[in-house]
Amino acid sequence: MTSNMFAGIRKYNGQPLLAEELFKRQNEIKSVLEPISGFHAYYLIKTGDGAISMMVCDNRAGAEESNRVESTWLKDKLPTFATRAPEITTGEVRFHLNLQPALVSV
């Protein structure tokens, strides 16, 4: 039997420099997100006017906790970017595709 995974997704609009600032602080972000129960993966996507972050966890509680932790971290560490609330979505991951790179022998 497979267990379900859940994702917490945050979309930040009107903040074109946010993705670069988060990228610069990825080690700090890693240190606050990895301890979250059920942590599986974190993604940061740079958009035209902001960023989208997504954390995948083994359970809904972890995905919801990731939204709270990221919000608190942003307010504490990058308050100029915390002035606009992101669009937040939490939901069940129904399926995912993971292509493995081909191994090439020379």
39-71 per-position pLDDT tens digit: 999 999 999 999 999 999 999 999 999 999 999
- Decide: residue 25, CB within 10 A, 0-12 exposed, 13-18 middle, 19+ buried: middle
Task: Scan for tokens 């700090």, then name that residue.
Answer: 28
Q: Is residue 51 part of a domain?
A: yes
- Domain count for the chain, please give it: 1
**CATH number, position 39:** 3.30.70.100
- pLDDT, mean of residues 14-26: 94
Q: What is the pTM of this model?
A: 0.84
Q: How far apart are the C-alpha atoms of 60 and 76, rounded to whole Å?
A: 25
Residue spans of beta strands (DSSP E) within 13-49:
39-47
- For residue 10, what is the enclosing H or E element? strand 5-12
Q: Is residue 98 part of a domain?
A: no
| Domain span at 70 | 5-93
How high is the pLDDT of residue 98? 76
**3-state secondary structure (DSSP) of residue 40:** strand
